Amino acid sequence: PPTRLAVGLGERGYDVLVGPGLLGRAGGLVAGLLPSRKVVVITDSAVGPLHLPALRDGLEAAGLSVLTEIAVPPGEGSKDLARLSDVLEAMLLAGLDRRTAVVALGGGVVGDLAGFAAAIAMRGVPFVQVPTTLLAQVDSSVGGKTGVNLKAGKNLAGAFHQPRIVLADTDTLATLPPRELRAGYAEVAKHGLLQGPLWDWCEAHGAAVVAGDTAALTHAVVESCRLKADVVAADEREESAEGGRALLNLGHTFGHAIEAEAGFDGSVLHGEAVAVGLGLAAALSARLGHCSQEWPSRVVAHLADCGLPARLADLPGRFTVDALLGRMAKDKKNRDGTMRFVLMRGAGECFTSADVPRAAVEGLLRDEG
Ligand code: NAD
Ligand code: ZN
């Protein structure tokens, strides 16, 4: 039987189910949570041929009716306003009404796009997440953040729209390219660093996760979703600047700067940028005296063991200190030469600091770069 985790948000609360064979049982699992039997499914054209037949059968077996299946091109480029507009028009053309649910089958791109479409179609229709990447199963499908990218930057148009349920079918991960699996694992390692005991488990079993071992993958997804569910329930809309969802940005201040510099062309995946960001966050924490000098070596060694880049030098291309600092400065409200980072004293001891000296970040990047 699948593991069931609750995201405690009162009336908007929902369950995350993790386990094998969920696509084929999807209809029975969602029917009681939806106001009508009508659904539209949104996927991408790489995932559709692999997993849509099982999901369609699973939905129809319980008497649900799939009004249409919309497949967007795979990749970050589909998270834009033009594609959102096409998806909305196609849903309405197929007969979507206010009681029709939108089902997202795919990675974080499909989840964010379909979730945003569900948030704004007819001022909001029910939404179901069926994540098929490790990243989406451990991170993006839980928490209700949806949206698309603008020319001005990533995820700059969006809405909070919580799903009615998340079905994380671990069978779908069998078809995921190994590089995507490793990239998703970076977020598991991040959750480990935030949570503590999960980091020890990662050091022992991370290599099995990225090798595709079913039991290890399932444990990684379950424990990640448990942590994310708790954090989201405590701070649904990221209203706290210090605790709550803000801590999930561990490794992401550096990571987002790296990603933006690389240019979203697939040369550096989000998870790969985050892995380097985790290594840099550990190194910055040591530099500021919050942990021993051995700690960043341990973090970097584990990520490298799992086939992830963990230092700037591991990435293709050159990242200049000025370019990265410029990106991070844009990201932050820097008062008096200080920056906000999530730092760590060790696994399970992460905290936000708003007064990291810019000079310390600059020094770190110069030494690392
Ligand atoms: P993705 O959705 O682009 O998927 C990666 C690739 O894997 C795609 O080419 C896709 O077609 C393919 N794929 C997906 N599932 C597959 C499967 N089972 N078998 C074979 N191929 C498969 O990328 P992602 O890493 O899942 O998500 C990245 C996106 O998630 C970014 O846009 C990011 O901003 C967003 N995100 C959102 C949140 C949130 O809270 N909403 C959190 C983290 C990331
Ligand atoms: Zn991330």
Given pLDDT bands bounded at 50, 70 and 90, which one contains residue 330? confident
- Indicate whether 46 and 107 sit together in one domain: yes
Q: With pLDDT > 90 as the criterion, what percentage of the chain qualifies?
A: 93
Query: Residue 335 has what pLDDT?
Result: 64
CATH number at residue 240: 1.20.1090.10
- Indicate whether 199 and 269 sit together in one domain: yes
CATH number at residue 105: 3.40.50.1970
Q: What does the pLDDT average to over 16-25?
A: 98
DSSP line for 147-213? EEEETTEEEEEEEE---SEEEEEGGGGGGS-HHHHHHHHHHHHHHHHHHSHHHHHHHHHHHHHHTT-
Which one of 175, 208, 228 terminates a domain?
A: 175
Which one of 175, 198, 231 terminates a domain?
A: 175
Does ipTM surpass 0.95 in this model? yes
Which one of 129, 144, 175 terminates a domain?
A: 175
Q: What residue's CA is closest to ligand 1, atom 20?
A: 176
Active-site residue identified among 56, 219, 270, 327: 270
Query: Residue 337 has what pLDDT?
Result: 83
DSSP one-letter code for 319 = -
Distance 363 CA to ligand 1 centre (A): 34
Q: How many domains does the chain divide into?
A: 2
- Indicate whether 296 and 331 sit together in one domain: yes
Query: Residue 333 has what pLDDT?
Result: 55
Q: What does the pLDDT average to over 203-215?
A: 98
Q: Does ligand 1 lie within 6 Å of residue 175's CB atom?
A: yes
Q: Is 332 annotated as a binding residue?
A: no
Q: CB–CB of 350/193 below 8 Å? A: yes
Q: What does the pLDDT average to over 104-129?
A: 98
Q: Does ligand 1 lie within 6 Å of residue 79's CB atom?
A: yes
- Indicate whether 239 and 360 sit together in one domain: yes
Q: Is 252 annotated as a binding residue?
A: yes
Residues present in the chain in total:
369
Given pLDDT bands bounded at 50, 70 and 90, which one contains residue 252? very high
Amino acid at 97: D
Given pLDDT bands bounded at 50, 70 and 90, which one contains residue 317? confident
Distance 37 CA to ligand 2 centre (A): 34
Report the distance separating Cα 339 and Cα 254, nearest Å: 12
The 10s digit of each residue's pLDDT in 333-354 is 566 789 999 999 999 999 999 9
C-alpha to C-alpha distances, 1 to 4, 25, 106, nearest whole angstrom: 9, 11, 22
- Indicate whether 147 and 200 sit together in one domain: no
Query: Residue 329 has what pLDDT?
Result: 83
What ligand 1 atom has the least distance to the C-alpha of 133?
15
Q: Does ligand 1 lie within 6 Å of residue 166's CB atom?
A: no
- Indicate whether 170 and 252 sit together in one domain: no
Q: What does the pLDDT average to over 199-220?
A: 98
Q: Does ligand 1 lie within 6 Å of residue 47's CB atom?
A: yes
pLDDT at 331 over 70: no
Query: Residue 318 has what pLDDT?
Result: 87
Q: CB–CB of 127/101 below 8 Å? A: yes
- Indicate whether 166 and 182 sit together in one domain: no
What ligand 1 atom has the least distance to the C-alpha of 175?
19
β-strands 3-7, 14-19 pairing: antiparallel
- Indicate whether 157 and 187 sit together in one domain: no
pLDDT at 332 over 60: no
Query: Residue 229 has what pLDDT?
Result: 97
Angle at 346 between CA 341 and CA 350, to 5 degrees: 35
Q: Could you tell me the residue range of the domain that residue 243 belongs to?
A: 178-368
> In the chain, which residue ranges form alpha helices assigned H by DSSP?
26-30, 47-61, 81-93, 108-120, 134-135, 178-195, 197-210, 214-234, 252-262, 270-287, 294-305, 321-331, 358-368
- Indicate whether 18 and 48 sit together in one domain: yes
Q: With the C-alpha atoms ordered 115, 239, 140, 215, is the resulting torsion angle positive or negative?
A: negative
pLDDT at 301 over 90: yes
Given pLDDT bands bounded at 50, 70 and 90, which one contains residue 264? confident
Over the chain, what is the mean pLDDT? 96
Q: What does the pLDDT average to over 309-334?
A: 88
Query: Residue 270 has what pLDDT?
Result: 96
pLDDT at 164 over 90: yes
| Residue 19: how many other CB atoms lie within 10 Å | 18
Distance 95 CA to ligand 2 centre (A): 35
